[in-house]
Structure 1
Amino acid sequence: MASCERTVPIHRIEYDVNWPPEHVASYLIGCEQPVLVDAGMPGADGRKRLCETLATHGYDLNDIEHLIVTHPHIDHIGQISEIVDAASPTVYAPVGVQTRFERNLEGLETTVRENARTAGFSEAERDVLVDKAVESLRRNRELLAPEVVDVWVDGGDIVEIGEAVVDVLHTPGHQADHCCYRLELNGEDVLISGDMVIEPFRPVILHAGLDQGVERAVEGFYTALDRISALDIDRVYPGHGPVHTDFEATLERDRNSLDRTLEKAVDTVGEGHGDGSETPMTAADVATERTGSRDTTYIAVEVVAALSYLRSTGQIRATERDGMRHYVPE
């Protein structure tokens, strides 16, 4: 049984972020060898929040003996270098990060720009999408330097981390390498879920961004939901929103939300540009219909991924015209 042998506290550390729900959480499991899951936001404010919360519970930064990463997004890996410098913990991270961080920046830029162009985004939007992708990779592989990782974990692994024995689940979709961690804690089966099984909302599909693999993002998210649903979990410790016990209801909400997103995409393609003419639509057109006049780049990946999935499952068709992919009803 995956467990931490004695009764232990689990302390939540919250950091401010400038997107909903305006916080991200990491967790300190107070085993004899303290375990930190995720590392919050970078910068002085993030370090201050981490150190102050640790001190509130009687810990110093150098007390951390193990550091587990759920996925390589900025709000989950921000303080890794600070923790490693102070404590030299054993660091565990999803194995897929190794290959992802080896990605050539020029190759990334080329692929994202081409996928954005094919999706019908304007030149200005393509520039934004490329800049975000390149900066994200550059920044994240500095925050989580591969050389500091001691143990690369993969789905299906059972890993001894101090006193705890942890089951690793590979749960892609939100991020392609994302892992959740299951263990028994104080007589409960708990899931430290990162950016999955979040109570306030379904996490957005980002997966691999507009890089290679975007077409597998929706399938990956469904796979993650299936894997998590197979568990019997008493309590969830997510990266956003509260700690909760609404495990099954939250998973059902997420699955229904994704189903509705796909259904709406089919409807939007069928309605054309709102005039009932079934005019072929690009992914950028669908994103505009979904957001109205707001910036569409933040949902570009989810929209492209959804249309790719619908095409692969025979629910819509695509034609190429002027270097762009246009979708029509099946």
Structure 2
Amino acid sequence: MNIPTDPSQTVSVHRIQIPNPFFEGDTNVYLLETEPLTLIDTGIGTEEAFESLSAGFQTAGHRIESLERLILTHKHQDHFGLSRRLQDLTGCEVFIHEDDLRDVTHVSERLDEYVGIIQERLTGWGVPAADIEHVSSMPYRLDKLCGSTAAQSLSDGQRLKCGETEMEVIHTPGHTVGSICLRLENHLFTGDHVLPGYTPNIGGADIEYNGLLGMYLKSLERIAGFDRPGLTVLPGHHEPVTDLTGHVQKTIAHHAQRESQILELLSGGTALSVYEIAIKMFGTMHDFHLVLGTGEVHTHLELLLDKKQVVHEAGRYCLP
């Protein structure tokens, strides 16, 4: 799909939709007809995804072997899974924000450490041992969907040459600590930072870090500042976002509502664990949704603790 541009734009953008076996749906990757020939994100590391990406290049009038530069919005498998294969095939340079760098360059090397972090977190959040054991095996099964890739680091405000113009790197931590958006002429590529129809997971999608919701809300307010007439907002999943400012306001209100929901659950006077709150909010959670659900509750509780609206003792939370 060619993204419409006004005559003042110098870079043509092609959206390629890559099949994704997970709940987010197809992953959008973007081929930029510029020098160097650039791809934003890759899709997951399956043969079906590679065939779709190759077909997308052909539709745009290019061979996949011609790729020169790959820019990753963040470190999740459905966005960088084909990076190693593309680098081996094309010799392309790969870029990702410095805070997500090691999780792309050392995927297998960090796997045991990552699983250990999951186990420690879920244990502290009161998740039953049998569920922790099941979830802990999943990263090993999914490891084949991506591979360690040599990459260069990006930083906030950095500018990358795109022919006669430049692309700006905007650091938007929250979904991951190294999540970025990219601004090129009148295009804003948002990865999973801004998604139409639903909000990205905050808290469980980068489980080893604290304070993610606070980072995310600040990042949302910052990215709203880039809104202007004619801006085309291109997310990592689903269709373009038509009202960036309105979407940001709606997302901030959604998280405020979640805080109110947690406070209501604690108003009965019984201290609850993160897991118990998550079950009451989301119902039974299966597979990796258990990490995402408990992680989201935990990051909301962090903010509520900062506001002194809840207290924490022996793994449980209650009102002051």
Shorter chain as normaliser: what TM range?
Answer: 0.7 to 0.9
CA distance in 2, matches of 1:105, 1:15: 25
Shift of 1:7: 3.0
Q: Which residue number corresponds to residue 213 of structure 2? A: 218
TM-score by length of 1: 0.84
- Alpha carbons 1:175, 1:207 under 8 Å: kept: no
Q: More deviation in 100-109 or 27-36? A: 100-109
Residues 159 and 195 (structure 1), Cα distance of their counterparts in 2 relative to 1, 3 Å cut: same
Equivalent residue letter for 1:78 = G
Q: Please give the TM-score of this superposition, normalised by the length of structure 2.
A: 0.87
Check the 8 A contact 2:232/2:240 in 1, yes or no: yes
Q: Show the 5 A alignment for 1:76-155.
A: 76-100=79-103, 104-132=110-138, 143-145=147-149, 147=150, 149=151, 151-155=152-156
Secondary structure of the corresponding residue to residue 143 of structure 1 = coil
Moved more, 241-250 or 201-210: 201-210
Query: Does the CA-based 8 Å contact 1:70-1:180 persist in structure 2?
Result: yes
Q: Give the 3 Å change call, closer, same or farther, for CA 40–164 of structure 1 in structure 2.
A: farther
Which amino acid is 2:249 matched to? E
Quote the residue 1:7 is aligned against: 10
Aligned partners of 2:11, 2:33: CA distance in 1, in Å? 5
Q: Deviations over 1:146-190 (max 9, x none)?
A: x2x1x3101122232444411111111111211111121xxxx22
**What is the SS of the residue equivalent to 2:257?**
helix
Q: 1:159 to 1:57 in 2, by over 3 A?
A: closer
Question: Which ranges of structure 2 fall in alignment gaps of 5 or more residues?
Answer: 1-6
- Alignment match of 1:25 (pick from 16, 19, 28): 28
Residues 133 and 209 in structure 1, CA contact (< 8 A), matched pair in contact too: no
Aligned runs of 1:25-104 on 2, under 5 Å?
25-100=28-103, 104=110
Residue 166 of structure 1 aligns to a residue whose secondary structure is: strand
* Aligned pairs (5 A) from 1:180-259: 180-184=181-185, 189-206=186-203, 209-211=206-208, 213=209, 215-233=210-228, 234-259=231-256
Cα distance in 1, alignment partners of residues 53 and 168 from structure 2:
26
Contact 2:203 2:298 in 1 (8 A): no
Matched residue type, 1:125: D
**In the alignment, residue 207 of structure 2 is paired with which amino acid?**
L
C-alpha change, 1:40 and 1:100, in structure 2 (3 Å) is closer
Shift of 1:5: 8.5
- SS state at 2:127 partner: coil
Q: Which amino acid aligns with 2:170?
A: L
The share of aligned pairs that are identical, in percent, is: 22
Say which SS state the counterpart of residue 270 (structure 2) adopts. Answer: coil
> 1:28 & 1:67 partners in 2: Cα distance?
9
Over 3 Å counting, the alpha-carbon distance change for 1:218 and 1:84 in structure 2 is same
Q: Which amino acid aligns with 2:125?
A: A
Pair 1:305-2:290 in alignment = no
Stretches of structure 1 that go unaligned for 5 or more consecutive residues are 272-277
Alpha-carbon distance in structure 1 between the residues aligned to 2:52 and 2:261: 41
| 8 Å Cα contact 1:176-1:207 kept in structure 2 | no
Deviations 1:52-92 (A, max 9, x none): 11111211101212111000111111221222122222221
Structure 2 partner of 1:279: 270
C-alpha distance in 2, partners of 1:40/1:104? Answer: 21
Tell me the SS of whatever aligns to 1:97: coil
Match of 1:329 in 2: 319
